[in-house]
Amino acid sequence: MKILVIGSSGREHALCWKLAQSPRVTKLYCAPGNAGIAHVKCQNGSAVELASIKADDTEGILRLARRERPDLVVVGPEGPLCAGLVDKLELEHMPCFGPGIRGAELEGSKIFTKSLLRKHGIPTADFSSFTDPEKAVQYIHEHGGPLVIKADGLAAGKGVIMAQDSAEAELAVKRAMVDGEFGEAGRKILIEETLRGEETSVLALTDGSTLVVLPSTQDHKRIGDNDTGPNTGGMGAYSPAPVVTADVESRIVREILVPTLHAMRREERPYKGVLYAGIILTESGPKVIEYNVRFGDPECQCIIPRIKNDLVDVMESVMSGKLDECNLDLVDESTVCVVMAAKGYPSKPLTGAAIEGLNADGQIDDAPGVQIFHAGTSRTKDGRTVVNGGRVLGVTASAATLPLAVSRAYQAAERITFDGAQYRKDIAARALKKK
81-103 pLDDT, tens digit per residue, is 999 999 999 999 999 999 999 99
Q: Verify that 422 and 353 share a domain, yes or no.
A: yes
Is 80 within 8 Å of 74 (Cβ atoms)? no
Q: Using CA atoms, how far apart are residues 60 and 35, in angstroms rounded to an integer?
A: 20
Residue 347 Ramachandran class (φ > 0 left, ψ -120 to 50 alpha, else beta)? alpha
What pLDDT is attached to residue 118? Answer: 96
Q: Verify that 298 and 374 share a domain, yes or no.
A: no
What pLDDT is attached to residue 435? Answer: 58
Report if residue 124 sits inside a domain: no
3 state DSSP class of 6: strand
| Alpha carbons within 13 A on the beta-carbon side of 289 | 22
User: For 181-184, which contacts have Cβ atoms below 8 Å and span 24 or more sequence positions?
Assistant: 182/151, 182/153, 182/155, 182/158, 183/155, 184/153
Q: Verify that 270 and 293 share a domain, yes or no.
A: yes
Q: Using CA atoms, how far apart are residues 78 and 293, in angstroms rounded to an integer?
A: 7
| Alpha carbons within 13 A on the beta-carbon side of 288 | 30
Q: Verify that 430 and 359 share a domain, yes or no.
A: yes
Q: Verify that 292 and 343 share a domain, yes or no.
A: no
Which stretches in the chain have pLDDT values below 50? none
CATH number where 339 lies = 3.90.600.10
What's the distance, CA 398 to chain centroid? 19
Report if residue 123 sits inside a domain: no
Q: Using CA atoms, how far apart are residues 285 and 262, in angstroms rounded to an integer?
A: 20
Q: Verify that 65 and 28 share a domain, yes or no.
A: yes
Q: Verify that 97 and 148 share a domain, yes or no.
A: no
Rg of the Cα trace of the chain?
Answer: 21
DSSP code for 48: P
Residues spanned by the domain of 141: 132-187
Q: Verify that 403 and 287 share a domain, yes or no.
A: no
Domain boundary among 325, 350, 385: 325
> pTM of the predicted model, to two decimals?
0.94
Residues 140-161 have pLDDT tens digits of 999 888 999 999 999 877 788 9
Q: Using CA atoms, how far apart are residues 423 and 427, in angstroms rounded to an integer?
A: 9
Report if residue 126 sits inside a domain: no
Report if residue 111 sits inside a domain: no
What pLDDT is attached to residue 363? Answer: 97
Closest CA to 238 of 386, 401, 415: 401
